[in-house]
Amino acid sequence: MSDYKLASRQYKNENTIVKVGNESIGAKELCLIAGPCAVESEEQLDEIAKGISELGIKFMRGGAYKPRTSPYDFQGLKKEGLQLLQKASLKYDLKIVTEVLDTSLIEEVYPYADVLQVGSRNMKNYQFLKELGKTDKPILLKRGMSSTVKEWLLAAEYILLGGNEKVILCERGIRTFDNSVRNTMDIAAIPLVKELSHLPIIADPSQGTGKRSLVKPLSLASIAAGADGLMIEVHHEPEEALSDGFQSLYLSQLEELVAEVKKQAQLSQRSLNLESKIPHII
């Protein structure tokens, strides 16, 4: 198997900083992305967007098209979900991170997304990665749940080769023999990717653990290991969520997490990209 080139540290020594409008991912300031697993309704998204914007978070996640293991599970609100994301983004001044499921949907999702998310299940969809390489939008490339770090960097290479240099990697846990958690968060992959590549890497401890109580400790561990940011699932009523409620934080827990991540960031000579209206988080 040939090695990656454009994604390597040898090719480019300085860290890549991905610009998303006036925000940056991969710079000294850590980026926080929070929001529901799926966009479910206008009320749901408004509550959550309001909560995260009060914390000063600049990026909101939310799936309008959901890749579900079972075809009987909620598949997302699709176009309506994209429109709801846009509405909330304008109201609360949030950048939108949302998943694009395949090539046929790039055109539809493109105008609504500030960052196009490529899900774990799609990391090896090479034809799709080539198409994303032709776009000019930042791409959040999740690690395939059964992929090695080398395969992941080669997937990034497909996007870079197309001319799109705005790739953000996202460690979201891998499958191991241990089924006591949904996935095994590969913390070692974070500093390893930093050695091997100039691309920014963030962590998703929500998919990475599948368990609400583990999201904060793994968030702190990821930042300590050198991650450039976090993607966190949050819901105003997690028990009612249509997907991934069990791993979604309550809004009050997100506030605690942000306060602790801020302290951890300082220990790592980093700061948080936040404009909080809540005094102890400023």
Looking at 89, 98, 120, 209, which residue binds ligand PEP (CB under 6 A)? 120
The tokens for 34 are 């929070």
Q: Give, as ranges, the residues between 136 and 155 that touch ligand PEP (CB under 6 A).
A: 142
Q: Give, as ranges, the residues between 189 and 228 that touch Mn ion (CB under 5 A).
A: none
Which residue, 99, 103, 154, is CA-closest to 124? 154
Which residue, 244, 261, 176, is CA-closest to 207? 244
Q: Which helix (H) or strand (E) holds 109?
A: helix 106-109
CB closer to Mn ion out of 37 and 169: 37
Which stretch, 23-31, 119-127, 130-138, 212-220, contacts ligand PEP (CB under 6 A)?
119-127
Work out how close the CB of 3 gets to Mn ion at its nearest, in angstroms, rounded to a whole number.
32
Q: Could you tell me the sign of the dihedral formed by the alpha carbons of 27, 32, 142, 66, in that order?
A: negative
Site mask for ligand PEP (CB under 6 A), range 58-77, x = bound: -----x---x----------
Neighbours of 150 (CB within 10 A): 12
Work out how close the CB of 261 gets to ligand PEP at its nearest, in angstroms, rounded to a whole number.
19
Task: Compute, in degrees rounded to 10, the torsion defined by CA atoms 21, 22, 28, 31.
Answer: -60
Q: Is 97 near Mn ion (CB under 5 A)?
A: no
Q: Is 174 near Mn ion (CB under 5 A)?
A: no
Could you give the CA distance from residue 38 to residue 34 in angstroms, rounded to a whole number? 12
If you count DSSP H runs as helices and E runs as strands, how many of each does the chain have, helices first?
9, 11
Q: Give, as ranges, the residues between 177 and 216 that touch ligand PEP (CB under 6 A).
A: 207
Cβ within 8 Å of residue 244, ≥6 positions away? 37, 38, 206, 207, 233
Work out how close the CB of 206 gets to Mn ion at its nearest, in angstroms, rounded to a whole number.
6
Work out how close the CB of 190 gets to Mn ion at its nearest, in angstroms, rounded to a whole number.
20
Looking at 37, 55, 227, 251, which residue binds Mn ion (CB under 5 A)? 37
Could you give the CA distance from residue 205 to residue 247 in angstroms, rounded to a whole number? 9
The one-letter amino acid at 12: K
Which stretch, 116-124, 220-228, 253-261, 274-282, contacts ligand PEP (CB under 6 A)?
116-124
Question: What residues make contact with Mn ion under the rule CB under 5 A?
Answer: 37, 244
Question: What residues make contact with ligand PEP under the rule CB under 6 A?
Answer: 37, 63, 67, 119-121, 142, 172, 207
